């Protein structure tokens, strides 16, 4: 099986996840979703949180730095948890 043949299955799945993240950016609880996506992305999630961060920051420019801070803190926390989990498995 060549490498391009795998994309017929993976591409639609990633597109649904991408669309879900874009739709979630305008919800009242979008900041919590952004933190969860950022946390998960640092370990296993294939879609970066930037696709939520950009629309949220454009919609509310005064809160852009707050959104970026939450995204960064959640990403570092997810990375630390993933690292600790891998270290414990050794």
More confident residue, 1 or 37: 37
Residue-range domain boundaries for the chain: 3-89
pTM of this prediction? Answer: 0.75
At 5 the pLDDT is 56
Report yes or no: 26 and 55 within 8 Å, Cβ to Cβ: yes
Count of residues making up the chain: 90
Alpha-helix runs per DSSP H in the chain: 7-24, 30-41, 50-59, 64-89
pLDDT tier, 43 (very low <50, low <70, confident <90, very high otherwise) = confident
Alpha-helix runs per DSSP H in 25-63: 30-41, 50-59
At 47 the pLDDT is 79
Q: What Å distances lie between residue 44 and 13, 58, 61, 77, CA to CA?
A: 15, 27, 29, 13
Q: What is the pLDDT of residues 51-72, one digit of tens each?
A: 888 888 888 899 999 999 999 9
Query: What's the whole-number mean pLDDT along residues 16-35?
Result: 85
């Amino acid at each position: 099986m060549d490498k391009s043949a795998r994309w017929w299955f993976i591409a639609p799945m990633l597109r649904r996840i991408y669309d879900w993240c874009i739709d979630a950016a305008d919800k009242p609880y979008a900041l919590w979703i952004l933190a969860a996506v950022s946390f998960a992305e640092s370990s296993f999630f294939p879609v970066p949180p930037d696709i939520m961060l950009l629309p949220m920051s454009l919609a509310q420019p005064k809160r852009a730095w707050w959104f970026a801070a939450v995204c960064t803190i959640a990403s570092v926390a997810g990375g630390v948890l993933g690292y600790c989990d891998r270290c414990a498995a050794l």
